[in-house]
Structure 1
Amino acid sequence: MTAKEGSPIDIVRPLQKTSRKWYAIAVLCLLVLGAWLVGYYYQLSNGLIVTGLGDWGSGGGSTWGLYIGSFIWWVGIAHGGIILSAAVRLIGLKRYQPVARMAEFLTLFALMAAGLFILVHVGRPDRLVSSVLLNYQNTVHTSPLAWDLTVITAYFVLTATYLGLTLRYDIVKLREYLPNFMSPVYRVMTIGYREDEEEVMQRMVWWVALAIIIMAPLLLHGGVIPWLFAVLPNFPGWYGGIMGPTFLSIALTSAVAGIIVAAYVFRRVYDWYHIVTDEVMRGLTLWLGFFSLMFSWLQLQQIVTGDWHPTVQTGRALDVLLAEPLYWLSVGSIFVILVGYIFAQAVRPSIFTPERSLVASIIVLAATLTEKILFVIEGFDTPAFALYYAIPGSYFPSVIEMLALLGTIALVTLAFMIVSKVVPVIELHAVEHHKDESTTAESEVKQ
């Protein structure tokens, strides 16, 4: 059967027809991914020396760079994405239900990308087994790497469970429109499904959403990830209690920006303007503004407190950061987007367009990525050890590192494209809710 535009089953149209543009973009993503794999093979063959990373200490340079900065960025997008989806369930923000599943997929794919950066940064992949997994009972107490893997794994399981529960209903109701080659997977995902289980499933989803909301600020991107930096007093550029709120604000900012990009692309490609409406895009843009304001405020807090009678080491770390033009470019970009576009809509609503929100989101994503990479590099290069003051070292990402970043972006893009051909990326409940609202509005107009 063929899905009709404007009907609830309109959300399965992407599964029924694949355009040449889809194949062209998929090939482009595969080429970028292939280039990264070639670069990674070269790194495996020759060691991390082929990157821009250097020996810390007497040799100068930084052993953490784009890899760790990108890891933090992807984890932040993942955490922020699932927080938005969980908030839709808990608070009842039905307006954003059409993008909730996109946020869930974004979380899964971003976590995979983050995990890959751990893999490439350890040098030899077997170290994850020999140094972490086989000795987990010891490393979990002392190793930041073990903490990272534990957090990512826990969050991945939670998100996959959360997504799987919401997919059961859609797969059963839309099975006749789904591709037959995926039938074994669909059967596994809907084992034991009953018509009366929907209420139970919704309660389970609500409790999982509550767990996610609690874990995110207290344990994940507001907790464990920033603690890996904030509890190290010998690195004044990282040390301090403000790192938790700062990381969380950047996570939410970049995640909403990523969701805006995904929502815009899907609604444009599949003509879903009646589902992902301008009001949804405007609301997401306003949330982007709110979290960008948090980001800007916390950056100001770090600058003011670090510049007002700081210790020698703190002052040095701040001076190094403030002397970096890329830092001002990233922070300034977010501030310009915040004031020049998002806040300006309050005075003149006509300024808003989905296209401008797309551009603003891409700029914000680039700015948050730049800020996180600089955070890692500048913090690592300004330790409170006199031994290293005479050898500041230098760091600039190599081509191989840049290919890793582009490769993970291509991988996430390709993952979105593939999943859109397997399951609906918009919940059936969202379309049913939209249809009910439209029917109610029509009835009120007639009366």
Structure 2
Amino acid sequence: MDDISTSTLFIILGILILISGYFSGSETGIMSINRIRLRHLEKENHPAAKRVSKLLNRPDRLIGLILIGNNLVNIAAAQVATIIGLRLYGDMGIAIATFALTLVVLIFAEVTPKTLAALYPEKVAFPSSVILKFLLKVLYPLVVVVNAMTNGMLRLFGVSTQEIEEHSLSKEELKTVVSESGALLPAKHKSMLTSILDLEQVTVEDIMIPRNEINAIDINDDWKVISKQLTNAQHTRVLLYRDQIDDAVGFIHARDALRLLTKEQFNKNSLLRAVREIYYIPEGTSLNTQLHKFQNVKERIGLVVDEYGDIQGLVTLEDILEEVVGDFTTTQTRAPSEEVNVQADGSVLVEGGANIRDLNKEMGWKLPIDGPKTLSGLIVEYLEDIPDANLGLKIAGYPIEVLEVKENMIKLVRVIPPKKRKKN
């Protein structure tokens, strides 16, 4: 290089640094690209996405190619910088060139291109894949030799490059993707998607109508009472039982009851003949499983029973769907807002039978949901006893005051939500 002028060497050095920056940025851009979006673009026959995906099928070869190119360029740049240093500063030029080149490479060939590629991976990866694909063909023999040596060393540690890890998302990771999607998804759609993902964790006990709140008709009552109850029924299906709800007879559809009412001989016998068989649901069944079961057996309503066969509550198809899309029909359950009364001092009066999950959703609270389903049950479990009125306690950081207890049941409590801290 003695015949090459110093100015020309500076130009060569600059070109080598740019090439080094290209390799550094390409590596970061391709490796940090969104694999889910890449697959989506690949399915839409995006040519650049297909190129990048093909390169990523063998990451060992891709990394080997990039590092071969990057190291060759950096070594060449070091040689050129050393010559320039010797020409300008003599023997001291070696130290000056080493320090100066390190700083220049760090800024212009490493940090800057890698930061840019991390911020805009697609804009960097897609165009650079054209050059990398060409270089892979040109340098393929060298890449294969280097990969054979490195893969052999990796096998000594029990690592196989053929077993490429699938970039699948767990349920929690997918929920994070949905919540972090920003304006790409409306808030309602985000809520629906996360609710679908949570169906496996929620059981029928979480949404069922408790047995003491089921609107049912005792078939042993006076016929006039039964007729009046049928006429005033607010639901399409009404449960019939004998004396106690555990001795359930079946469901009568409002359409069948209306048809019988138009006939002259409408009595208990004709009513019992129109009763439909009860579909039972084991307690602990997840909503996801129960939704599929309702679909398979063509049912829309069922009674939840425990291991002894005792009826615990009632679940409908609409109850499960409302867990996903929100309230859209009139069901037997009361809206949480009917059980909640916010006071002027910030405290909240809540009925003891209020569902904890519904309270958490409506009020933004974080009461524990891994135990009892109602607020009353949560308090009783915490105290391990049925409390008297005017008793105060604290659960999960929420001060709670028991206001009314009747018939061994907590009827009304006052909850004091924690104050939200103001942002400075």
Tell me which protein shows more helix as a share of its residues: 1
Which structure is richer in relative contact order (CA contacts within 8 A, separation 6 or more)?
1
Tell me which protein shows more strand as a share of its residues: 2
Q: Specify the structure having the higher radius of gyration (Cα).
A: 2
**Fold shared per TM-score above 0.5:** no
Q: What's the TM-score once normalised by structure 1's chain length?
A: 0.24
